[in-house]
Amino acid sequence: MSAQKRHLAHTREAARLLGVEIESRRKERRWTEAELAERAGISRTTLWKIERGDTTVALGSVFDVATLVGVTLFHDTVADVVTARQRVTDRLELLPDRIRVSTREVHDDF
């Protein structure tokens, strides 16, 4: 099974959407593939994979490229991302540290 097929259909489509957004923004800026790849510190082949929605590319590389061309991933600024992360971290503090599998048998035969 190929690495692409191991991901859910929703994941594959989201990666393709992000890829075409990146390609569109790159072209709006009139940057060549080589220019964007150089700015991101990746190869043109890796950029080509990102723009095609290849889910095997490292997440950090995808985020770097998206940021360079102006695709908003979660929030507009780094400060907004930090604030959002802190909110989720605070929420995690309220949840249990461990999740245990229930050993109780459920009798739901009415």
Domain positions in the chain: 4-71
Task: For residue range 22-66, list pLDDT tens digits in order.
Answer: 999 999 999 999 999 999 999 999 999 999 999 999 999 999 999
Q: What is the DSSP string of 40-102?
A: HTS-HHHHHHHHTT-TTS-HHHHHHHHHHHT--SS-SSHHHHHHHHHHHHHHHHTS-S-----
Q: Which of the four CATH numbers 3.40.50.2000, 1.10.260.40, 3.10.400.10, 1.20.120.140 does domain 4-71 have?
A: 1.10.260.40
What is the rounded CA–CA span in Å between residue 92 and residue 78? 21
Task: For residue range 86-102, list pLDDT tens digits in order.
Answer: 999 999 999 988 887 87
pLDDT of residue 59: 97
Would you say residue 5 has pLDDT above 90? Answer: no
Check the CA dihedral 49-50-53-54 and report its sign.
positive
Predicted confidence band of residue 108 (pLDDT cuts 50, 70, 90): confident
What is the rounded CA–CA span in Å between residue 59 and residue 32? 22
pLDDT of residue 19: 97
Predicted confidence band of residue 2 (pLDDT cuts 50, 70, 90): low
Instruction: Identify the CA nearest to 18 among candidates 38, 44, 47.
Output: 47
Predicted confidence band of residue 1 (pLDDT cuts 50, 70, 90): low
